[in-house]
Structure 1
């Protein structure tokens, strides 16, 4: 796999006034590092579709909705198909709905789908999925972008009212919540101007917008907003209001958190563009831009294998898994003022 080094870019940090939510804005011009990554591809081996991805231990895992077997396990980094699990059905050991992952920084495998109100912890032994623990959750809405942190706190995005919520799985109560920035203009449109993707680790949580090149940065324990990262981009409110789906530029569409970094899948094109490719932006826990990777493929979903140094993702051809070898440059962590 080839990598092409680009010039070192100077980053300008501007300290700006706060908006109505009293959030500091930090504007950046360029990443200090830029690399181009060239993908190779591996056959999915008759996987019908791919809905959600995750990496756990030595496995790359894909959730499939159309197949009767809904979880598919691959070895890493060679992506050899190993086995399938999570049979669709209504018996005690089957899955009533398609599996979604509850991220934990790769430490454990948590899956929701056996029942809409249950999250199960699984182990993998001898290429078999083994049930370990079960947690009942009684939520008011469908959880998106779930992360289980500090052993018992379920962080998730509630898109019904644009709120990040934290639910204690031990006592079955909501611990705290915070609304994300709401668009000041009320859009009479089917396109949600505040839609985005959420990820969190034990230090930081980030919410990245799909239609704005902006990222909200939060303190995970307090769920208080630290600041907003803002890049130069063109406002798209009029296009959203007119429901011009094919003309609206997509910005951030996936977000993966590990212990020390956040990996943002950045599009930078609209749905009708055929020539433009995807990018992966990397930030540290303090909101510093670390490196931008230009990918030679369009990628729509992302999983990060830090142990082996690979990005895995799916693109326009769902018959293949794209694999990108990457390295993160040695950095001197700059703890920006909180």
Structure 2
């Protein structure tokens, strides 16, 4: 019986290794990353931030020195600013609309330390504000507006003096825009696999979030397969890493007679990486690994994976409360995250 048990265990371990290896072989030039490759694991405990004003539906956070900026999707003014020391609201900005300094779907552009930049996903316009004016004036006016030549399908980031944004095209992952908003290049291509996918399936299967180090690196973190691609500012693939669970979600194309779309294959999809954040010489990214078929499934993630900009695994931060978006106050060693369990609120974690 003991010998049979050992054989069964050996076969199980072999099967697990082959399963991960099989997925790995489907990605050209990918390196496997396992949990054991991370140098350290740290457990972080959440504290609820008791702000003096209710935030109905926060969806994005940004730190500007001592100010926490919150994108609130269900308010008359969409950007709410809070003093992190007093927890008091100091300003509200950006009304919904198409008038001067109004926006339809605003999102923060990564903080470069020199200005506040906000992109409107609907109009493809990036508005730049003086930082002092944005933090102190009641209705700050933008000092510059850049109209992007092509619509990016997601948040815009800075890369040196350029902007980059998701292209949602089978030919590339990102558009690169110059300071005037003109398309000057593209970055990235969809992963090569051992199986065939339609173009529509490929675009949905490899939906992604991304971050830049503001200078010369882009980290593309895929939402439905635990794959991360690191590109330089010239569009060269520097590293491709797969793990720590080595899975690939499956999507199937369908045609209802009017439109061609895809749907996730039941029991064959998992949430992977979300909301990567530039933190100096590292990027931090939420990792889920959960399947909707699992009992107690939630979109909230309880792990932040920390990688170097070369793709090297560094640390794992285990969160005792799940979040779906976050930002990092590196100076004060704080993580601020958004949870919707049971209602929307903001949490802080000291690290």
Match of 1:324 in 2: 349
How big is the shift at 1:56? 2.3
Match of 1:214 in 2: 227
- Residue by residue over 1:132-164, the C-alpha shift from the partner in whole angstroms, topping out at 9 and shown as x without a partner, is 5223223333342311232x3001222243511
How big is the shift at 1:301? 0.7
Match of 2:241 in 1: 229
Verify: 1:37 aligned to 2:47, yes or no.
no
- Residue by residue over 1:164-215, the C-alpha shift from the partner in whole angstroms, topping out at 9 and shown as x without a partner, is 1211023723234332326643267699210111111113211111111111
Match of 2:188 in 1: 178
Partners of 1:171 and 1:269 lie apart in 2 by 38
Deviates more, 1:154-163 or 1:277-286: 154-163
TM-score (norm 1): 0.79
Verify: 1:314 aligned to 2:338, yes or no.
yes
Partners of 2:339 and 2:265 lie apart in 1 by 23
Deviates more, 1:81-90 or 1:98-107: 98-107
Q: Are 1:104 and 1:149, in contact at CA under 8 Å, matched by a contact in 2? A: no
Match of 1:15 in 2: none
Larger gyration radius, structure 1 or structure 2: 2
Partners of 1:160 and 1:185 lie apart in 2 by 17
Alignment: residue pair count: 304
How big is the shift at 1:243? 2.6
Deviates more, 1:69-78 or 1:306-315: 69-78
How big is the shift at 1:105? 4.2
Partners of 1:304 and 1:77 lie apart in 2 by 16
Partners of 1:77 and 1:274 lie apart in 2 by 36
| Runs (5+) with no aligned partner, structure 2 | 1-23, 253-262
Match of 1:262 in 2: 283
Higher helix share: 2
| Runs (5+) with no aligned partner, structure 1 | 1-17, 327-338
Change (3 A) 1:138 1:205: closer
Match of 1:205 in 2: 218
How big is the shift at 1:73? 0.9
TM-score (norm 2): 0.76
Match of 1:165 in 2: 175
Partners of 1:149 and 1:59 lie apart in 2 by 24
Match of 1:130 in 2: 140
- Residue by residue over 1:76-113, the C-alpha shift from the partner in whole angstroms, topping out at 9 and shown as x without a partner, is 36643322111223432333x02111214454310123
- Residue by residue over 1:274-294, the C-alpha shift from the partner in whole angstroms, topping out at 9 and shown as x without a partner, is 388510111112221111000
Change (3 A) 1:191 1:143: closer
How big is the shift at 1:308? 1.2
- Residue by residue over 1:248-292, the C-alpha shift from the partner in whole angstroms, topping out at 9 and shown as x without a partner, is 321101101133110011112234543885101111122211110
Partners of 1:230 and 1:77 lie apart in 2 by 40
Q: Are 2:49 and 2:347, in contact at CA under 8 Å, matched by a contact in 1? A: yes
Match of 1:249 in 2: 270
Match of 2:100 in 1: 92
Q: Are 1:55 and 1:106, in contact at CA under 8 Å, matched by a contact in 2? A: no
Verify: 1:286 aligned to 2:310, yes or no.
yes
Verify: 1:274 aligned to 2:296, yes or no.
yes
Q: Are 2:124 and 2:150, in contact at CA under 8 Å, matched by a contact in 1? A: no
Q: Are 1:63 and 1:71, in contact at CA under 8 Å, matched by a contact in 2? A: yes
Match of 1:153 in 2: 162
Change (3 A) 1:93 1:212: closer
Verify: 1:109 aligned to 2:137, yes or no.
no
How big is the shift at 1:119? 1.1
- Residue by residue over 1:45-70, the C-alpha shift from the partner in whole angstroms, topping out at 9 and shown as x without a partner, is 22221222222232221112221111
How big is the shift at 1:232? 4.3
